[in-house]
Amino acid sequence: MKKYWLIGATMVITFALVGCGETKKVTEETEKASEQTTEATTQTLSYLGTDYIIPATVDSIVTASLESMEDAVVLGIKPTGVLEIAGEIPSYLEKELAGAELVGDKRAPNAEAILTLDPDVIVGTSKWGEDTMAEMNKIQTTLPYSHISTNWKENLTALAQLAGNTEVAEEIIADYDDKAETAKVKVKEQLADKSVVIIRMRGGLMYIYPTSVYLNPVLYEDLGLLVPEIIANSEAQSEITMETLASVNPDAIFLQFEESENTETPNALGDLQSNPIFASLAASQSDQVFVNTITPLAQGGTAWSKVKFLDAAVESLLHN
């Protein structure tokens, strides 16, 4: 009897161990499947030294910055949400972005409107403060799209990865580089010793930018023009007085004037052009002042802006 009892006990223990082994195996397989599922539903986007976890498939993108809106147009992306200017999609992007919901303006993105759209990712701007960025990240992973013009390739590539069309970004970048390299040779031949500046009028005042900001990289890096000392010494958007401009006395001026940025001084452009000092500048005397060669709303540091301005700058400088 004792013999049978021992055999029975041994069998129970054996079955228990087998059961534990099977349970452990099932648990491990379940955990592994769960990990695989998690990996399949997300992807990592590496952008300017930071990794962002986003859905593997991105169907809804809110472009909460003018920079990302411009590049969305270049890439053929249809955002679900975009910023407004005076209650409408910016006129120069209206056709391509038609149908998108408005989610506030560049100074105050509307968190409630963005939340309603339930986006897979939000593309903001590095111009935002920490509070705004934190608020957006509570809704969904938010990319701080760089406003520094020299990051335009990284910007475009990141946005293209979100939309799954990196090949388009690669083609745009390659085409631009080829065109800029060809134009650079011609520009250097004709304008090697010429001084060219970009001035943006805001609130009736004139402003210049550092070499890496706004449209400046097109002139000084892509086309290889000399960098005026006043531009080289500029660390941020800076007002330039008429007296200082006269001391620089540039050979050519690209002048950008947007009405919505000069609402209290609507006649500022005309007043500037009729100013005796401005009229005496070398650029004015040789008819080399180019007003709004591209839309004055263009952000500058985007593929859209660079492609447009490269063509306009070369056409203006070499055929006038």
Quick check: 82 and 100 in contact, CB under 8 A? yes
pLDDT at 107: 82
The CA distance from 107 to 86, in Å, is 12
61-63 and 142-143 as β-strands: parallel, antiparallel, unpaired? unpaired
Superfamily of domain 184-318: Nitrogenase molybdenum iron protein domain (3.40.50.1980)
* First and final C-alpha spacing in the chain: 114
pLDDT at 188: 87
pLDDT at 108: 83
pLDDT at 39: 54
The CA distance from 178 to 168, in Å, is 16
Q: Which of 280, 271, 153, 279 is nearest to 217 (CA)?
A: 153
102 contacts: CB under 8 Å, gap ≥ 6:
81, 82, 83, 84, 87, 88, 89, 110, 113
Radius of gyration of the chain (CA): 28
The CA distance from 281 to 138, in Å, is 52
pLDDT at 34: 52
Residues in the chain predicted with pLDDT less than 50, given as ranges, are 1-18, 26, 37-38
- Total residue count of the chain as it appears in this document: 320
47-164 carries CATH number 3.40.50.360: no
Start and end residues for every CATH 3.40.50.1980 domain found in the chain: 47-164, 184-318
The CA distance from 87 to 105, in Å, is 8
| pLDDT single digits (tens) 253-284 | 999 999 989 999 999 999 999 999 999 999 99
281 contacts: CB under 8 Å, gap ≥ 6:
245, 246, 249, 250, 253, 289
